[in-house]
C-alpha cells in the first residue's frame, strides 16, 4: 500500500472514530510502527490531525474542545436513548428516594424517560441544568429541586462557587453523571474547570454514581479531571471499552452496562 493510500485511510478512520492507534494502524496496514508514526507526523504537519500518546485524534478533539448544547442535542440521539433506557434500570418502578441529574444530553435522556415511565411519588429529583429542570418539572408525582448559580451557555447549567457549595449540601441516593472523556489513566474529565468542580461535588456527595457516556467519550482525555474510575459505581455505554479501559474499570470495581 502506498503512503498516500494510508494517509487517506487514516483520515477516514479519524472521521469515523475520532481517534487512531499506532499499533492498530501498523497491524491494519502491515507496516512497522515507525512507518505509522512518520505518517502521523506528516499528517499533523498538514493540520489533518493532532498527535497524542499512542496515536492521534481528530484536530477538533483537543483537550478544551466542547460542542455547544445545540450540537450535542443533534448528535448520537439513538445511542443516547438506548443508554438512557439501560441506565434507568438503576431506578426500579418501586424506587423511593433522591436522584441527582448532572447536565448533559445523555443525562437529559434519562430524565425524559423517567418522566415518561409514569407517576413517581416519593422520588425527589435534583438538578442544576435548566433544560433538565424543565423536563423534570412535568413528571407526575415527581418532586424537583433546582440548584441555581451562574448559568454557563455552552451547557445551559449553573456553575460557580455558589452552585458547588449548594451541591455539597446534598446526599442523593443516585446520581446520573455525564462526562466528556473517560480513560484508564486519567479517569473522568471535561474541558471546563467550572464544570469539573460541579461534577466533582456531585460525585463526592452521591451514594451511587451512574455514569452515562456514549462510545465517543471512551478513551478520551479532556483538560480537567473530576473523578477517578474508582469513584463511580456503574458505567452505561453503547460500546465495549477497549482492553486497557476494560481492565482499569474492572480493577476499580466499576460495573459496565452495555446498552
For the chain, give the percent of residues with pLDDT over 70.
Answer: 93
User: Mean pLDDT in the chain?
Assistant: 91
What is the model's pLDDT at position 54?
Answer: 85
Per-residue b or e along 133-144, where b marks 16 or more CB atoms closer than 10 Å to that residue's CB: bebbeebeebeb
Domain contains 17: yes
Task: Look at residue 62 and tell me whether its pLDDT is greater than 50.
Answer: yes
**Alpha carbon 145 to its chain's center:** 23
Tell me the pLDDT tens digit for each residue of 105-114. 999 999 999 9
Domain contains 159: yes
CATH of the domain at 43: 1.10.10.10
Residue 229 in grid coordinates? 474510575
Tell me the pLDDT tens digit for each residue of 187-196. 999 999 999 9
Per-residue b or e along 215-243, where b marks 16 or more CB atoms closer than 10 Å to that residue's CB: bbbbbbbbbbbbbebebbbbbbbbeebee
CATH of the domain at 251: 3.40.50.1360
Domain contains 63: no
Tell me the pLDDT tens digit for each residue of 189-245. 999 999 999 999 999 999 999 999 998 899 888 999 999 999 999 999 999 998 999
CA separation for the pair 15, 22 (Å, rounded) = 16
Q: Which residue has the higher pLDDT, 68 or 9?
A: 9
Same domain for 199 and 98, yes or no, is yes
| Residue range of the domain that includes 97 | 69-258
pTM, two decimal places: 0.76
Q: Which residues contact 46 (CB under 8 A, 6 or more apart)?
A: none
Domain contains 93: yes
Same domain for 95 and 49, yes or no, is no
Same domain for 137 and 224, yes or no, is yes
Q: How confident is the model at residue 73 (pLDDT cuts 50, 70, 90)?
A: very low
Task: Look at residue 3 and tell me whether its pLDDT is greater than 80.
Answer: yes
CA separation for the pair 82, 106 (Å, rounded) = 10
Q: How many domains does the chain have?
A: 2
Tell me the pLDDT tens digit for each residue of 7-43. 989 988 887 777 889 999 999 999 999 999 999 999 9
Amino acid at each position: 500500500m502506498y503512503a498516500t493510500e494510508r494517509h487517506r485511510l487514516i483520515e477516514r478512520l479519524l472521521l469515523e472514530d475520532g481517534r487512531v492507534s499506532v499499533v492498530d494502524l501498523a497491524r491494519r496496514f502491515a507496516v512497522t510502527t515507525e512507518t505509522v508514526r512518520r505518517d502521523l507526523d506528516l499528517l499533523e504537519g498538514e493540520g489533518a490531525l493532532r498527535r497524542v500518546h499512542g496515536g492521534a485524534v481528530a484536530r477538533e478533539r483537543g483537550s478544551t474542545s466542547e460542542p455547544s448544547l445545540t450540537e450535542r442535542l443533534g448528535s448520537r440521539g439513538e445511542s443516547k436513548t438506548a443508554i438512557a433506557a439501560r441506565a434507568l434500570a438503576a431506578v426500579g418502578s418501586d424506587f423511593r428516594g433522591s436522584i441527582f441529574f448532572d447536565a448533559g444530553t445523555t443525562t437529559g435522556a434519562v430524565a425524559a424517560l423517567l418522566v415518561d415511565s409514569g407517576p413517581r411519588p416519593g422520588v425527589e429529583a435534583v438538578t442544576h441544568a435548566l433544560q433538565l429542570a424543565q423536563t423534570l418539572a412535568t413528571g407526575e408525582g415527581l418532586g424537583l429541586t433546582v440548584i441555581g448559580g451562574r448559568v454557563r451557555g455552552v451547557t445551559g447549567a449553573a456553575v460557580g462557587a455558589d452552585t458547588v457549595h449548594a451541591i455539597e449540601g446534598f446526599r442523593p441516593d443516585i446520581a446520573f453523571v455525564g462526562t466528556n472523556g473517560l480513560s484508564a489513566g486519567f479517569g473522568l474529565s471535561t474541558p471546563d474547570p467550572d464544570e469539573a468542580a460541579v461534577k466533582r461535588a456531585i460525585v463526592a456527595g452521591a451514594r451511587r454514581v451512574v455514569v452515562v457516556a456514549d462510545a465517543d467519550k471512551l478513551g478520551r482525555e479532556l483538560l480537567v479531571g473530576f473523578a477517578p474510575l474508582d469513584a463511580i459505581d456503574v458505567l452505561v455505554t453503547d460500546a465495549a471499552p477497549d482492553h486497557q479501559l476494560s481492565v482499569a474499570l474492572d480493577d476499580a470495581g466499576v460495573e459496565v452496562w452495555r446498552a
